[in-house]
């Protein structure tokens, strides 16, 4: 009986951890694509539309990261630290969106670079088990 409970808990933790890794990878990818669309913003007529749509997708990916962190923590038994990191990232994403809407590129651009770096660090921290 105890073995079955432990096996189920381990399987749930693995699924939650996988979902968390996927959510962080999606967030990292969307932030990278935002940098690409920012370059298009300066050179192409459709850049502003692409950057605006990308901002919504990036914000959604940040919310998905928070959801995945909560699901990995509460039912999966993962660390609560991931929830705090995801919450902080959602706050940064909110500030980033507000700065973009207010057209404050002197803070918007460096914050975007910092967010990409933090997202890559989170992805590296939650990488899968080593396969040897």
Kindly report the pTM of this predicted structure: 0.82
- Dihedral angle of Cα 70, 18, 122, 129, to the nearest 10 degrees: 130
pLDDT tens digit at each of 132 positions of the chain: 544 444 444 455 556 689 999 999 999 999 999 999 999 988 999 999 999 999 999 999 999 999 999 999 988 777 889 999 999 999 999 999 999 999 999 999 999 999 999 999 999 998 765 433
- Dihedral angle of Cα 106, 111, 116, 122, to the nearest 10 degrees: 170
Check if the beta carbon of residue 86 is closer than 8 Å to that of residue 118: no
Region for 104 from its dihedrals, namely left if φ exceeds 0, alpha if ψ lies in -120 to 50, beta otherwise: beta
- Dihedral angle of Cα 113, 118, 121, 126, to the nearest 10 degrees: -130
């Amino acid at each position: 009986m105890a073995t079955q409970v432990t096996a189920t808990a381990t399987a749930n933790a693995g699924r939650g951890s996988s979902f968390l890794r996927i959510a962080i990878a999606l967030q990292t990818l969307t932030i990278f694509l935002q940098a690409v669309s920012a370059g298009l913003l300066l050179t192409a007529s459709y850049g502003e539309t692409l950057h605006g749509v990308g901002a919504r997708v990036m914000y959604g990916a940040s919310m998905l990261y928070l959801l995945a962190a909560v699901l990995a923590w509460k039912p999966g038994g993962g660390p609560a630290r991931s929830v705090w990191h995801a919450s902080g990232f959602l706050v940064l994403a909110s500030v980033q969106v507000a700065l973009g809407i207010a057209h404050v590129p002197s803070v918007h651009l460096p914050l975007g670079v910092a967010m990409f770096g933090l997202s890559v660090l989170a992805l590296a921290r939650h990488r899968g088990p080593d396969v040897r």
